[in-house]
Amino acid sequence: MELDKWPIFSLLKPEFIEKMRMACVFGSLGNEAVIVTKDDDVYALGFNGSGCLGVGDQNSTMEPRKIEPLCQKKVKGVAYGSGPHVLAYTESGELYSWGHNGYCQLGNGSTNQGLTPYLVTTHLHNKRVTRIAAGSHHSLALTEEGEVLAWGQNNCGQVGSGTTTNQPTPRKVIASIGGRRVVDIACGQTSSMAVMDNGEVYGWGLNSNGQLGLGNNVNQH
């Protein structure tokens, strides 16, 4: 990891840096981070906007603090949405979310803020998450079977449900995609994209500047 690019890591002791396996730096100024160590503990430090450090409160910290619900879970990836909220998935395919939730972007069926990681289970039972992505206030998950699930803010159609109603829990995206296999996903602030196993690319959500590449500037629901 090129740690010298991120001033937040200058706060860490060398012996702690030696233990780091993975890190996600986020926040508008790069002043927050989630860190996974080689011994499978998960820590956070920094500003803690909207409780995005996941440590149970909204206090800033210059010293790494453990995110207890994620320790020893073999976290494989972390995604940050600028709303702000955070997603993480594990080697076993579990999905966790925390942070701001005013638009249901945590997928727990409520709009209550999450100060610690929440295990997202709705429509994910017996499914293994292999990719995650986060927009400003919406979220995507890709499963081992190649299904895409979306939830959260939907004012521009970024959840892909055909409406502009916010989605409180994960919902499978089926319009146009049908039962075909998706191999990768990505989020813009208020848009979503998916790559099919045959190389086709699909986009939905905000398109006011043609960001979906559809040849027009009409939002795609």
Is residue 48 very low, low, confident or very high in pLDDT (cuts 50, 70, 90)?
Answer: very high
Query: Do the beta carbons of residue 207 and residue 214 sit within 8 Å?
Result: yes
* pLDDT beyond 80 at 153: yes
Query: Do the beta carbons of residue 97 and residue 90 sit within 8 Å?
Result: no
> Going by DSSP bridges, is the β-strand pair 138-143/191-196 parallel, antiparallel, or unpaired?
unpaired
CA angle 114, 117, 118 (to 5 degrees): 80
Looking at 3.40.50.720, 2.60.40.790, 3.90.1150.50, 2.130.10.30, the CATH number of the domain 3-205 comes to: 2.130.10.30
* pLDDT beyond 80 at 103: yes
Predicted local confidence at residue 1, as pLDDT: 61
Separation CA 77–CA 140 (nearest Å): 13
Maximum Cα interatomic distance, the chain, rounded to a whole number of Å: 53
* DSSP 8-state class, residue 180: P
Separation CA 83–CA 166 (nearest Å): 15
* pLDDT beyond 80 at 91: yes
Query: Do the beta carbons of residue 98 and residue 52 sit within 8 Å?
Result: yes
* pLDDT beyond 90 at 3: no
Predicted local confidence at residue 36, as pLDDT: 98
Indicate whether this model's pTM tops 0.85.
yes
Rounded mean pLDDT, 106-118: 98
pLDDT in tens, 165-177: 999 999 999 999 9
Is residue 106 very low, low, confident or very high in pLDDT (cuts 50, 70, 90)?
Answer: very high
